[in-house]
Amino acid sequence: MSTRAELFHGLKGGIFETAVPRLRLAESRSRVLWDPDQFAAQQIRGLVRRIFFPGWPRPARQVVFSAVDRGRDIGGICMQIAHALETQTPGTVCLVEANHEALELTNTYGRTTGDPISVEPKTGCLRKSSRQVSERLWFMPIETFLGENESELSASWLRGRIGQLRLDFDYTVLHAPPAGQSSEAALLGHLSDGVILVLEAGSTRRIAAQQSRAMLQTANARLLGAVLSGRTFPIPEGLYRRL
């Protein structure tokens, strides 16, 4: 059994492969036969259908995405999920930055200028204080998500915030800290509809993925599956000679 297969077997959850595939040789030459960007988009759309659409035993409306490895910014993956969700569903979507160390989402969408939200905001306040990216997609930076409670994130406060997100938006994609390094990811997973772990092909260790899974189980967070990011698709040299 390969290392990747063993790692997935150890997770014992639904497995989804998606996002930013890599080729070992020049990508531009391979586009004649295969487009990696199109493949990644197809994988993202499939994940959205599997998790958020009716027909799943428990269709999700709020999903936490968390990397296994520290220092891995998965904002791009969360961004793709949110945009795909907007195009495939008629509801409103909120992409939430809940990771202090992440920069990709904030660098892409910028920060809002609204005042911090109080502990018990009125219906619609979270939407008004978030940045509208497109017709039915909003981005909520971490300052808005945390409001005035950055120093102390209690379970009761987070439950209220998650509940408010559920009232203000039909779907929520939360970019959480690494599951194996922070208890916040497990807590968010417990309060939301579940967690999807993001594993990096060629670098995420099996023991690290199992430890992340164990932390989620301890917090009674529902593990929806895993995303394999950065997968390499080798192309035989003999095939290139025919291009």
| Main-chain phi, psi angles of 92, to 5 degrees | -85, 145
C-alpha to C-alpha distance for 27 and 61, rounded to whole angstroms: 36
| Domain residue spans of the chain | 3-233
Tell me which residue of 191, 173, 219, 14 sits closest to 78, measured CA to CA.
173
Local confidence band at 37 (pLDDT 50, 70, 90 cut-offs): confident
Residue 13 has pLDDT above 60, yes or no: no
Residue 68 has pLDDT above 80, yes or no: yes
Local confidence band at 232 (pLDDT 50, 70, 90 cut-offs): low
Tell me the pLDDT tens digit for each residue of 86-144: 999 999 999 999 988 877 887 787 765 455 554 455 556 788 889 999 999 999 998 88
Whether CATH 3.40.50.11540 fits 3-233: no
Lowest mean pLDDT among 32-41, 42-51, 104-113, 233-242: 233-242
Local confidence band at 30 (pLDDT 50, 70, 90 cut-offs): very low
Residue 237 has pLDDT above 60, yes or no: no
Tell me the pLDDT tens digit for each residue of 151-202: 566 788 899 999 999 999 999 999 999 987 778 899 999 999 999 999 988 7
Residue 49 has pLDDT above 50, yes or no: yes
As a dihedral over the C-alpha atoms of residue 198, residue 96, residue 179, residue 41, rounded to 10 degrees, the angle is 0
The answer to whether the beta carbons of residues 95 and 85 sit under 8 Å apart is: no
What pLDDT, on a 0 to 100 scale, did the predictor assign at position 133?
A: 92
C-alpha to C-alpha distance for 119 and 226, rounded to whole angstroms: 32
Q: Helix, strand or coil for residue 23?
A: strand
Maximum CA pair distance of the chain? 64
Cα 196-2-235 angle, rounded to 5 deg: 90
C-alpha to C-alpha distance for 112 and 106, rounded to whole angstroms: 10
DSSP string, 48-79: HHHHHSBTBSS--SEEEEEESSTT---HHHHH
